[in-house]
Amino acid sequence: MTDARMKIVLVEPEIPHNAGSIGRTCVALDIELILIKPYGFNIDAKTVQRAGTRYWQFVQLTEYDSWQEFIAARAPREDQLYLFEEHGAQSFYEPDYVPDAYLVFGRESTGLPQYVLDAHNECIFNVPMRNDKVKSLNLSNVATAVIYQAMRAYLIA
């Protein structure tokens, strides 16, 4: 599949409101949302639709049963993958994102699976926080910040 637009990938998301909120942002920016199972919720749940309000029906949604199925089906280039983790070695401000990037986020409770991180350890980024009293940020907030940072050059045009 060739698509020059950025894509958001949620690996095993647990909280329907986060998926719904991220889906709404995807609709606003005309980007695909990719969900990788298993989920911590039913994709048809009212809570996902409520978080996406009336926009969930417009989400360009693709689902995969596993990370391996996603990799086999999409065959992303290494330069297309940007993984986001609390302890990523690089700030999300550093890269020049490619226009067909996959912005990848893990479970709210545990992040990305270790085998995913091990396979792509050169492309792991963090969203910096200045105060160590906050352990982590909400997934939908981080995803929105990342999306806008990644698309900055393309949104200006």
Given this model, what pLDDT does residue 1 score? 45
Q: How far is CA 80 from CA 7, 43, 77, 94, 108, in A?
A: 10, 26, 5, 15, 23
Q: How far is CA 9 from CA 33, 70, 135, in A?
A: 6, 10, 22
Assigned domain for 148 exists: yes
Given this model, what pLDDT does residue 157 score? 55
Number of domains in the chain: 1
Q: Which of 31, 103, 39, 37 is nearest to 60 (CA)?
A: 31
Residue 61: give its domain's CATH number.
3.40.1280.10
The answer to whether residues 115 and 83 touch, using CB atoms and an 8 Å cutoff, is: no
| Confidence grade of residue 2 (pLDDT, cut at 50, 70, 90) | low
Full domain range(s) for residue 12? 7-156
Assigned domain for 2 exists: no
Assigned domain for 134 exists: yes
9-18, 71-80, 108-117, 128-137: range with lowest mean pLDDT: 128-137
Which tokens sit at 31?
Answer: 């980007």
